[in-house]
Amino acid sequence: MKSAIYPGSFDPLTYGHINIINRGRKIFDRVVVAVAGNMSKNTTFTIDERADIIRELFRGVKGVEVVSFRGLLVNYMSRRGIRTILRGLRTFSDFEYEFQMAMGNKKLAQEVETLFMITEGEYSYISSSIIKEIVALGGSARGMVPPLVEKQLRGKLRVERAAVRRGR
Ligand code: COA
């Protein structure tokens, strides 16, 4: 079975990510969507919340598995016997970061290959942070994230705002 891992923070998952997962499914028998835990990023959703949202959205979809992992990606891949990383490239500015990661992973595990897919034009401007900002400021993220993600995000931001008010 040909498998690829699609790692990311997915805080939250966007239609841009979904685009890569669905195109990946046409090439690989299985795309393992891997939600990363211990990152320098301060995430809005916990690792379990991020994975649960993706699981819900891909429930019953053949060829997609959703997992979460902590520690080095290559170590997780080695435990699972997966050798291919799938990543999306949005704009030229993504390249440098992606290049460093691909080379870093290669240095850590020679057998690992990273494959890049160009994110389709209409999604190339989307990022999780932009979506969080839009929703936090009362805008609509329709067409950028699935309705479930927008709903969860609104709920999360409401709780955060309430906590800030209580702390005042
Ligand atoms: N469409 C829309 N947005 C996309 C996208 C796409 N196809 N691909 C990426 N993005 C956005 C994300 O929304 C995210 O936006 P944000 O910065 O506003 O949150 C940004 O691009 C980058 O996110 P992502 O692709 O999820 O990468 P990341 O930097 O959050 O995650 C890991 C990188 C998790 C893959 C990497 O840190 C990792 O492997 N960590 C494990 C530890 C490890 O092994 N480290 C050594 C690596 S050499």
Q: Are 52 and 160 in contact (CB under 8 A)?
A: no
> What is the residue whose two structure tokens read 């995430």?
43
Per-residue tokens: 104: 């870093």
Fold annotation for 3-124: Rossmann fold (3.40.50)
Question: What confidence category does residue 165 fall into, taking pLDDT thresholds of 50, 70 and 90?
Answer: confident
* pLDDT at position 69: 97
Per-residue tokens: 27: 């090439």
Cβ(75) to ligand 1 under 6 A? Answer: no
Question: Is 128 labeled as catalytic in the residue annotation?
Answer: yes
Report the alpha-carbon distance of residue 80 to residue 124 in Å, rounded.
31
Cβ(8) to ligand 1 under 6 A? Answer: yes
Minimum CA distance residue for ligand 1 atom 32: 8
Rounded mean pLDDT of the chain?
93
Per-domain residue ranges of the chain: 3-124
Helix H segments across 33-127? 47-57, 73-80, 92-108
Q: How many CB atoms lie within 10 A of CB 99?
A: 12
Q: Give SS3 for 86.
A: strand
